[in-house]
Structure 1
Amino acid sequence: MKIMKLWAFLLFTVLLAGCSASQPPLMDNPDAESTEYLLDSGDTVSIAVYGEPEMTMKFIIDKSGSINFPYIGKVTLKGKTPDQVSADLTGRLGPDYLQNPMVTVNIAEFRKFYVSGEVKIPNGFAWEPELTVEKSIAMAGGFTDRADREDISIRLAGTNQLLENVDVRHTVHPGDIVIIGMGFF
């Protein structure tokens, strides 16, 4: 009898662990991705070295994807997460410059995405996590009176691929261009 109870308990524990391991999606968006944000040109990062105020500063990542950090020189940030950059800087500052450095890297401002066409304020805007076409249109002041609300395209950053007639719930990534077409009345 004790063995049956033990097996029942183990089965219940395994089932409970399996249920808690699955997590709901980040958004009600089929295009949502759960990957971490990777730094690139145009992002502004804040780097803090604990106990070293002269080494605490903000950097805009240049076109090569790098910054010039004191004592170390050129550091490539492009394609890395803030945690990876923190670990890299900690390792490079460690033995030669500081004992047990503690480095924190945060994103101070995301790189821009762009909204063009028939919106009230066509411009570049700082990207935000979980950004959708609908939110980007709102940031651009909404549709103009001439906008075709069904003619929405996105030119993808990096590939220049054009996605036509996208849904307003579609995800917008840094560097993307949201294009609102003009309606003919």
Structure 2
Amino acid sequence: MTIRTVLRSGILMVAVLAAAALSACQSATAPPLEPTVALADAGEYRLGPGDAVRVIVFGQEQLSGEFSVDGSGQIALPLIGGVAAKGLTSRQVEKRIAERLAEGYVRDPKVSVEVLNFRPFYIIGEVNKPGQYPYASGMSAVTAVALAGGYTYRAREDYVLITRTIDGEKQERRAAPNTPVLPDDVIRVPERFF
């Protein structure tokens, strides 16, 4: 063996070891990349505490108005009192309100529920202005980063970690920057190592 061959073998071995070490560091700091679809939970928006809604009972102005979902997940309405809304879509809440009003209060009620203000989302980690931000429909992780003043110089820009409640359980998943954000999500921008 020549010295040149030995040097090439040594350099190759160092490169392989460095790649393995980098891979081990990355896998130890974040769960594997999940498909965007699994994280998106792209179904209809489900109400929760902190959401503000407009309820319109057609022909009944005194029963219509703007209401908030309280900490227990209820909307307090005139005449019928609390209506459970947590975890339901606006269409499901419309149906519940109409059913309650039809119990002797209003004949054949027609109800509309519209979300006015969504719960906020939270962003932490390697962004310039971490904190709580108002949610806007159609947001992605990268637009959330932009709202938070952009990435710091130490930020990893190829993925984020999103903590979301899925089936009643908080789960953290690694996600691409174009992953849709939902209200109540906690987005963490990790630090890069090199």
TM-score by length of 2: 0.70
2:172 is aligned, of 162, 167, 179, to 162
Gaps of 5+ in 2: 1-35
Distance 1:177 1:68 in 2: 28
C-alpha separation in 2, matches of 1:183 and 1:34: 30
| Structure 1 vs Structure 2 CA RMSD | 2.2
Partner of 1:13: none
TM-score, with structure 1 as normaliser: 0.73
| CA drift at 1:139 | 2.1
Displacement of 1:176 in angstroms is 1.3
Q: Is the 8 A contact 2:141 2:180 kept in 1?
A: yes
Matches within 5 A, 1:36-47: 36-47=44-55
- Which residue, out of 130, 133, 142, partners 2:138? 130
Aligned ranges 1:1-185 → 2 under 5 Å: 30-31=37-38, 32-150=40-158, 152-157=160-165, 159-164=169-174, 166-183=175-192
Counterpart CA distance in 2 for 1:95 and 1:159 is: 35
Cα distance in 1 for partners of 2:122, 2:42 equals: 22
Partners of 1:151 and 1:182 within 8 A in 2:
no
Check 1:150–1:95 CA distance in 2 against 1; reply closer, same or farther (3 A cut): closer
* Aligned-partner SS, 2:95: helix
Larger Rg: 2
CA 1:153–1:97 in 2, change beyond 3 Å: closer, same or farther?
Answer: same
| Matched position secondary structure for 2:121 | strand
SS at match of 2:157: strand
Matched to 1:179, the amino acid is R
CA distance in 1, matches of 2:170, 2:99: 37
- SS, match of residue 48 in structure 1: strand
The size of the alignment, in residue pairs, is 156
Deviant stretches of 4+, over 3 Å: 29-34, 182-185
SS in structure 2 opposite 1:147?
coil
Distance in 2 of aligned mates of 1:80 and 1:33: 14
8 Å Cα contact 2:140/2:177 also seen in 1: yes
Report the Cα distance in structure 2 between the residues aligned to 1:94 and 1:151, rounded to whole angstroms: 50
Task: Give unpaired runs (5+ residues) of structure 1.
Answer: 1-28
Percent of aligned pairs sharing the same letter: 33
Q: Distance in 2 between matches of 1:33 and 1:179?
A: 18
Check 1:120–1:44 CA distance in 2 against 1; reply closer, same or farther (3 A cut): same
1:19-51 superposed Cα distances (whole Å, 9 cap, x missing partner): xxxxxxxxxx54444421111112111111122
